[in-house]
Amino acid sequence: MEKIGQFPHRRWNPLRQSWVLVSPHRTQRPWQGEVGQKAAPSEVAYDPQCYLCPGNQRAGGATNPAYEGIFSFVNDYSALLPDSPSVSELAASPLLVAGSARGLCKVLCFHPNHSLTLASMTRTQIRRVVDAWTQEYKELAGLDWIEYVQIFENRGAMMGASNPHPHGQIWATGFVPDEPAAETTAQREHLARTGHCLLCDYMTAESAAGERVIFENAHFVALVPWWATWPFEVLLVSRRHLGALPELSDDERDGLADVLKRLTTRFDNLFQTSFPYTMGFHQSPVGETAYPEWHFHAHFYPPLLRSATVRKFMVGFEMLGMPQRDITPEDAARQLRACSEEHSWRKAESQL
């Protein structure tokens, strides 16, 4: 039987209950499409024009405090509002339906130093970010109308980040968004069918296979998932079965800071660039309902495909048919395993 990575095939994503098309032979095609700019990190610790730097005025008119650690605030241009009115159907048709969309959107600045990224921060600094994420989660989950807390980071202009200052976002919603809702269904069905956690079983399978695991520590595993859609997509999974950030022990918080540091550094070293990505934690919905099926994890979706300037586009068949990838997850994992966990292309920066 031919090795699966040598010819087109489909792979099943049990978390999303959908397929992805893998076409490994397409990496040989010539490229005459868009070539972007190589991303370079900022070289200044303070930018007077940056609306996230300490002491500067934001676009909405507020002035940031002269913060020396982590700083969070309600987004001046929030996509969701906590006082949105109740909405029902807009027309007398089951095909024209609207629903309420209340929410609270926050920005979390990871550090006052404008030039830093997670990859260039120390583990101690990242651990403070983990603690801040956890505290924000607790506070937002404590609001009686919130059903989900989505913590994420868009890194780099290629992923729509409007500012290079190290920061992420937290959107707390009065509903469960589509992606975690789909994962809730998949994990719940797997638990009902097998009596086991889906991601616990998946980690057992990946550990046995080995070829998609990039690295691991005592508390987390970093791997390119079997069903990865983006070329260098990575899944971070907690070893222990738990549902959300507040359940992490002190050692597990340290472990999360460690894997974030090591993974983002490998990303930077892959194409010798400040690597763009969207990253987000998927956690159990909040409220009084128990979610024993939920297993804490994070998704990294980087767009780069061949180099620091050539990205993967989700167009054509991907938009109209199904997701498709060119390099196999095994090859992506191999390339990331080969990357150093020390920055090999930029001078070590002084930490504040």
Left, alpha or beta for 201 (phi > 0: left; psi -120 to 50: alpha)?
Answer: alpha
Task: Quote the tokens at residue 175.
Answer: 């509903």
User: Which secondary structure element, helix H or strand E, spans residue 238, and what is its range?
Assistant: strand 234-238
Asked if 328 and 21 touch (Cβ cutoff 8 Å), the reply is no
Judge whether 167 counts as a catalytic residue.
Answer: yes
Long-range contacts of 34-37 (CB under 8 A, 24+ apart): 34/311, 35/309, 35/310, 36/158, 36/309, 36/310, 36/311, 37/309
**Count of CB atoms within 10 A of residue 327's CB?**
22
Residue 171 CA to chain centroid, in angstroms?
13
Catalytic residue among 111, 114, 167, 299: 167
Measured distance between the N- and C-terminal CA atoms of the chain, rounded to whole angstroms: 56
81 DSSP β-pair partners = 102
Q: How far is CA 266 from CA 16, 312, 331, in A?
A: 27, 19, 15
Left, alpha or beta for 158 (phi > 0: left; psi -120 to 50: alpha)?
Answer: alpha
Asked if 44 and 114 touch (Cβ cutoff 8 Å), the reply is yes
Print burial letters for 215-247: b (CB count within 10 Å at least 16), e (below 16): bbeebbbbbbbbbbbbbbbbbbbbeebbbbbee
Q: Is 256 exposed, middle or buried (0-12, 13-18, 19+ CB in 10 A)?
A: buried
User: Whats the size of the chain, residue-wise?
Assistant: 352
Closest-CA residue to 258 (of 117, 124, 112): 124
| d(C-alpha 218, C-alpha 123), whole Å | 15
Active-site annotation, residues: 167
